[in-house]
């Protein structure tokens, strides 16, 4: 997949580097699961669209990451960056869609 399909924003402070990544298709989508409400916004996840390769490069250089979306979670599992049990699964508002994953990674 070479298309730009992830929003990314990098936060740096001294030696810390947080990378926030969101699947393009769920940006600004209101999500709720078990009383927890999440709405991915461009204010937090950024306005820059990047490719899988750019996501993987950014993750190599981070000290922590906040990721949300089915595709980003699948990518991180595929590359052994996160474990399946570390994911909070959220129901998609359109029940015909797959659940959406959210994870926080600390290195």
pTM of this prediction?
Answer: 0.92
pLDDT tens digits along 49-71 = 999 999 999 999 999 999 999 99
CA–CA distances in Å: residue 64 to residues 15, 45, 97:
11, 14, 28
Contact 61, 14 (CB under 8 A): no
pLDDT at 21 (0 to 100): 98
pLDDT at 99 (0 to 100): 87
CA–CA distances in Å: residue 24 to residues 5, 13, 46, 50, 97:
5, 26, 11, 10, 15
Instruction: Write down the residue that tokens 């049990």 correspond to.
Output: 85
Residue 1 has pLDDT above 60, yes or no: no
């Amino acid at each position: 997949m070479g298309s730009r399909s992830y929003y990314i924003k990098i936060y740096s402070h001294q030696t810390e580097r947080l990378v926030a990544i969101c699947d393009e298709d769920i940006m600004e989508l209101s999500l709720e699961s078990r009383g927890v409400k999440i709405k991915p916004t461009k204010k937090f996840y950024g306005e820059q669209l990047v490719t899988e390769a750019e996501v993987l490069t950014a993750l190599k250089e981070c000290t922590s990451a906040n990721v949300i979306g089915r595709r980003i979670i699948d990518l991180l599992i595929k590359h052994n960056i996160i474990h399946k049990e570390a994911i909070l699964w959220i129901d998609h508002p359109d029940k015909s869609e797959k659940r959406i994953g959210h994870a926080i990674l600390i290195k």
